[in-house]
Chains A and B, each alone.
Chain A
Amino acid sequence: MSEDHEESVLPAGVERRAIGGETGLATRGEPVYGEATDGPWRRWEPGRSKLGALLSRGVETGIAGGETVLYLGAASGTTVSHVADFAGPTYAVEFAPRPTRDLLAVAEARSNLFPLLADARRPERYAHVVEPVDTIVQDVATRGQADVALANRQFLRGNGRLVLAIKSRSEDVTRDPDAVFEDVLDTLGEGYEVLATERLDPQHTDHLGVVARPQ
């Protein structure tokens, strides 16, 4: 894939930049996890972020920058901090209290990041807060990842995009990852049309990146 093509699919606000002698994705915002910085820019480490890995491989996600985002499985905010740097209003759902504490610090340094301590399998508990969005990013690493995506489809605008990281070991540690991915994609087909898939190995072992739109 040519550099040009890779550049062309990055959302506005995400750039490939040389920071500390290494060229890679970067966004503008307060640093969060000890990443290298250069002025307002901070490195988005693809090894720490599945969305970062997808974008740095040149996968077309359909994210243009500036849109409204629902992020499921925000954890301590590593990836969602970058998302909030280039997106519009960003709703971050996480259900474990400990990482949410770190997420709070990330959100306090940003005006467009709204943390929600909630279970992504129960969208009715945040539908009174979250508006319809252009993009759902999902990285929940729990059993039933396709069901989580289906349950949250109601938040996605008709022309929106789901960007999903599937971790095969969360579904079944013993099965062949390819078989697990096939099953998850099958279930996902009940509400989404899959546009692209990309294995994220070796940066993220046994993970599949998926871009889909609601149907």
Chain B
Amino acid sequence: MTDDDPGWFERAGANGRGAAAVREGSADRPREWPRLAVERGVVDDESAYYECLREATLTAAREAVAERESADDQQLVHAVRALDDCARTANELTERVTEWAGTQDADAAVDIEYVRELASRTPETPVEEQVGSLAGRVAALDDQQAQLRAYIERTAPEIAPNLAALAGPVLTARLVALAGGLESLAKKPSGTVQVLGAEEALFAHLRGGADPPKHGVIYTHEAVRGTAPEHRGSAARALAGKLTIAARIDHYSGESRPELAADLEERIERIQARDSA
């Protein structure tokens, strides 16, 4: 008997290490744990046992879920950074390859459609061979970008459903990336979320002189962009407030709150209506 694995309650000890014991323990086989816990004087009776078990399993599952999901949010961070790198590189190389093609082709245009066409041409000279091959790589980068975007669109709503419903998957991923993870985003005050991505402007302001930034990356959201410049500050503040709430719900409880999107829409409509008033 004594060489058997201990039950979770024996590992837990007296002082509330129940959740850790549930998460870290193991045993070769199940045993009559409730009866054993009573016999060994860990608890007074089985109903007290089940109360402790409930507390320990709920806490353990809550912790384990948060940990596993925050590991997933790091995948989102990498994906959106890769997306931005692909986009930037594809743009740079589009300029380079179309500029080069322009020495051979009077109709050269600086866009990805033209690059794809270049890639599909049969080269007739060594220069065309180089240009065509480079164009092929640019097109492939553009495909990769689309793939990364699809991955983000699929995973962001799983990792942060409320945030994704309010901000869209890509902006969600950017906010999570700028904060360094969903948990740190959830811990940021709304004023910080409002200017995430505008750090340079913020430091310029803090050093003195410059105006404080009204918004960071949330500028790309329709609620800010679609609002007249004089009300953008209010719109950005309202949006950041809702996004902060969404991030907290996503991190701490994960339940879906569809009413947040309706709330936001109503707020923004009221702000935008100030124009006509």
Task: Give residues in A with beta carbon < 8 Å to B.
Answer: 89, 97-98, 100-105, 107-108, 111-112, 114-117, 124-125, 127-132, 154-155
> What is the minimal beta-carbon distance from A158 to any residue of chain B, in angstroms?
13
User: Which residue from chain A places its CB closest to the CB of B65 in the assembled complex?
Assistant: A97
Within residues 41 to 63 of chain B, which ones have a CB less than 8 A from any CB in chain A? 50-51, 53-54, 57-58, 60-62
Taking CB atoms, residues of chain B closer than 8 Å to A124 are 26-28
Residue contacts A-B, CB under 8 angstroms, 26 given: A97-B65, A98-B254, A101-B65, A101-B254, A103-B61, A104-B58, A104-B61, A104-B62, A107-B57, A112-B50, A114-B53, A116-B57, A117-B65, A127-B26, A127-B28, A127-B30, A128-B6, A128-B7, A128-B22, A128-B25, A128-B27, A129-B57, A130-B30, A130-B33, A131-B30, A132-B30
Number of residues from B at the complex interface, CB < 8 A:
35
Q: Does B253 touch A at the CB level, under 8 Å?
A: yes
Known: A117-B65, A131-B32. 7 other contacts (CB 8 A): A89-B53, A98-B254, A127-B5, A127-B29, A128-B6, A128-B27, A129-B22
B61 near A117 with CB under 8 A, answer yes
The total of interchain contacts (Cβ-Cβ below 8 angstroms) comes to 95
> What is the minimal beta-carbon distance from B262 to any residue of chain A, in angstroms?
19
> What is the minimal beta-carbon distance from A183 to any residue of chain B, in angstroms?
28
Within residues 1 to 31 of chain B, which ones have a CB less than 8 A from any CB in chain A? 5-8, 11, 21-22, 25-31
User: Which residue from chain A places its CB closest to the CB of B32 in the assembled complex?
Assistant: A131
B8 near A128 with CB under 8 A, answer yes
B57 near A114 with CB under 8 A, answer yes
Taking CB atoms, residues of chain B closer than 8 Å to A154 are 29-30
> What is the minimal beta-carbon distance from B8 to any residue of chain A, in angstroms?
5
Q: Does B158 touch A at the CB level, under 8 Å?
A: yes
> What is the minimal beta-carbon distance from B42 to any residue of chain A, in angstroms?
14
Task: Give residues in B with beta carbon < 8 Å to A.
Answer: 5-8, 11, 21-22, 25-34, 50-51, 53-54, 57-58, 60-62, 64-65, 68-69, 72, 158, 253-255
| Known A114-B54, A115-B58; contact A125-B26, beta-carbon cutoff 8 A | yes
> What is the minimal beta-carbon distance from B172 to any residue of chain A, in angstroms?
15
Taking CB atoms, residues of chain A closer than 8 Å to B21 are 128
Taking CB atoms, residues of chain A closer than 8 Å to B28 are 124, 127
A100 near B61 with CB under 8 A, answer yes
Q: Name the residue among B61, B62, B254 with the largest chain A CB count within 10 angstroms.
A: B61
Taking CB atoms, residues of chain A closer than 8 Å to B22 are 116, 128-129
User: Which residue from chain A places its CB closest to the CB of B10 in the assembled complex?
Assistant: A128
